[in-house]
Structure formats: structure tokens, C-alpha cells
Amino acid sequence: MNPQLQPLIDLQTLDLRIMEIKEQQKKIPDLIETAEAPLKSATQHLKTMTSSGETLVKERRDRERDLEIHEAQVEKLRARLTELKTNKEYQAHLFEIEIANKKKGEIEEQILTLMERVEKSQQEAKQAQISAKEAERLFAQEKSRLEALSAGLAAELAQLDQKRSKAGALLDKPLLDRYTKLKAARKDLAVAPVRNGICFGCRLQLPPQLVAEVKRSDQLQTCTYCHRILYWDGERVTVPTTTPETLVDAADDMQETA
């Protein structure tokens, strides 16, 4: 097997995982924002509830002030009763008092209604506060989960970057450049396996002669159609079941003993 091939495949395995991690990392801010939405709406609801409660309390106080003013007026009217001379004046004055009392009763009624509404609104505000607290707890929980995930990804990425430079060091500079260009152009695979005579980069059937050469793998072969570097994904690959990590370690060992 061409000595450059395995390090190249390892490098690609690392790069694919690096790409995957970067994709996941990109999604995290959106996930945090989505997780925060219920908290934002619960906070807004609490704010609305609190402010409508305050409005009701103010309204009740205004009505209570009105009542005081009205009571004072009724008192004044009553006090004047003794000063009146004629029966006609007296009757008219009594009528005025009656109207004032009726108005007073109306205000008292309004105050009672307002007191009930204030009480109801206070209960609603309390409920909204409980909901907001719960939403805050859930968001904090989800946020720290996502932050832990992000930290884990960053740590893995740092490790992968290290492994990547080691794997890259095993390759000849022109081959590394070719790989880098292919990777940029192809977005996914720069090195493609050949299975059942098909290039798994472009999914096209390769000429049998090329397949045979890939299988022999003395030289690096390129796909006729997509120009990806090819490797035989069959029995000729020495350690197909080994994880990328051990492959790189093995590559390290190879480098050290070389």
C-alpha cells in the first residue's frame, strides 16, 4: 500500500469530524435562543399582569378619594338643613341629599367591584410569577446543558486540531496541497473509497483497469470523473475497523520509528 494513503484517509476522517463539530457549534446560539423564547414570553406576561394590577389599584384609590369628597359634600348638605327657612327649600334640599347619597352608593359599588378585580389580578400576577420562575429554571437548565455541549465540542475540536497537524505532517507537501484543494472544491470527500467498482465521491462506475490499480494501491489513483483521490475499501485496506484515533496513533508510531 502506498505509505501516503492511510495518513491521507486518517486526515480526511479527522476533517469530516471537525466539519461536523463546527456545524453543531454553529447551531448552538440558535438553540439557546429557542430555549429562551418561553422565558421571554413568561416574563412579558408577568410584566403585563403586574402593570394591569397597578392600574386597577390606582383606579381603586381614585374612586376611594372620590368617595371621601362625596361623603364630605353629603355632610355639608346635611349641616345646611337646619339653616333652611321654608318647607319648599327644605324639600328641595332633601332631594339633593338623596341624589348625593345615590351617587355615593354608586361609587361604593364601583370600589367593591374594583377590589374584586384587584384581588383577581393579584392572583393572576402571582401565577404569572410562578410560571416565569419555572421558565427561568428550565431555561437555565437548558442553557447550561448547551454550554456544556459547546465546551465539550470545543475540547474535542482542540484535540482534533492537534491530531490533524500530526496526520498532516505525515504527508508530502504537494499531496497535502492537492488534498486541501480537493476538499475545498468538493465540500465533502477529497479521498473517496471504491466499492463494487464505483467511486463513492461521484457514484460513477470506474473503468476495471483503474479499479484494479486502486485495489493494488501502489500508486495514488484519481477518479476519472471527479478527480478525487481513490482508495480501495475492501480486504486490501489493512486496518478498516480501527477507529480514527488509533489510526492516527498508529501513524504517530510509524513516524516516530521512521
The stretch near Zn ion (CB under 5 A) out of 21-29, 110-118, 164-172, 225-233 is 225-233
> CA nearest 63: which of 130, 117, 2, 142?
117
The stretch near Zn ion (CB under 5 A) out of 56-64, 154-162, 223-231, 240-248 is 223-231
Among 18, 226, 237, 250, binds Zn ion (CB under 5 A): 226
Among 9, 39, 49, 223, binds Zn ion (CB under 5 A): 223
In angstroms, rounded to a whole number, what is the distance separating the alpha carbons of residues 258 and 256? 5
Footprint of Zn ion on 57-76 (CB under 5 A): none
Binding mask 160-199 toward Zn ion (x if CB under 5 A, else -) reads ---------------------------------------x
Nearer to Zn ion, 95 or 225 (CB): 225
Query: In the bound complex, what is the minimum distance in angstroms from residue 206's beta carbon to Zn ion?
Result: 8
Query: In the bound complex, what is the minimum distance in angstroms from residue 211's beta carbon to Zn ion?
Result: 12
Nearer to Zn ion, 202 or 237 (CB): 202
According to DSSP, residue 205 is labeled: B
C-alpha triplet 43, 48, 119: angle, nearest 5°: 110
Q: Where are the alpha helices (DSSP H) in 170-207?
A: 173-186
Nearer to Zn ion, 115 or 220 (CB): 220
Binding mask 126-155 toward Zn ion (x if CB under 5 A, else -) reads ------------------------------
- The pairs formed by 135-141 with CB atoms below 8 angstroms and a separation of 24 or more are 135/38, 135/39, 135/41, 135/42, 135/43, 136/39, 136/42, 138/35, 138/38, 138/39, 139/35, 139/36, 139/38, 139/39
Nearer to Zn ion, 90 or 225 (CB): 225
The site for Zn ion, by CB under 5 A, has a size of: 6
Binding mask 192-211 toward Zn ion (x if CB under 5 A, else -) reads -------x-xx---------
Residue 193's alpha-carbon distances to 79, 230, 231, in angstroms, are: 108, 6, 5
Query: In the bound complex, what is the minimum distance in angstroms from residue 175's beta carbon to Zn ion?
Result: 18
H/E run at residue 127: helix 87-169
Query: In the bound complex, what is the minimum distance in angstroms from residue 198's beta carbon to Zn ion?
Result: 9
C-alpha triplet 16, 21, 27: angle, nearest 5°: 130
The stretch near Zn ion (CB under 5 A) out of 4-12, 153-161, 209-217, 222-230 is 222-230
- What single letter denotes the amino acid at residue 177? D
Nearer to Zn ion, 114 or 223 (CB): 223
Answer whether 248's CB lies under 8 Å from 166's CB: yes
In angstroms, rounded to a whole number, what is the distance separating the alpha carbons of residues 28 and 184? 24
- The residues binding Zn ion (CB under 5 A) are 199, 201-202, 223, 225-226
